[in-house]
Amino acid sequence: MKKKHILLAVLIILTTFDVVYACATCFGDPNSKATQGMNMAIIAMLTLTGGVLSSFISFIYVLNKRAKDYAKKLSKSDNNSGGN
């Protein structure tokens, strides 16, 4: 069943390949206002995405560091109490 869906998707892509081209603005003048606007929009989206991803990565790093510090603190308190 899954093979039929994949085959169907490949056939659709191959038969409609002429339709799947870039928009007319991409083929136009690279110095036009529309092209410059699209380029700035792409840069803005990449910047926003990169900022969110880097914030998420730094959050995970901070959580990992806090967990390690807390585990060390617990192990030190267990050692100091003598296991009682």
Question: What pLDDT digit, counting tens, does each position of 12-32 carry?
Answer: 877 776 665 666 656 677 788
Averaged over 32-48, what is the pLDDT? 89
Rg over alpha carbons for the chain, rounded to the nearest Å, is 27
pTM of the model: 0.54
Cβ atoms of residues 60 and 54 within 8 Å? no
- Which of 50, 54, 52, 53 lies closest to 42 in space, CA to CA? 50
35 Cβ partners below 8 Å, 6+ apart?
25, 26, 28, 29
What is the token pair recorded at 63?
């959580």
Q: Per-residue pLDDT for 56 more than 70?
A: yes
| Residue 62 belongs to domain spanning | 2-80
Total domain count, the chain:
1
Q: Could you tell me the pLDDT band of residue 80, with boundaries at 50, 70 and 90?
A: confident
Q: Which residue has the higher pLDDT, 81 or 69?
A: 69
End-to-end CA distance of the chain: 62
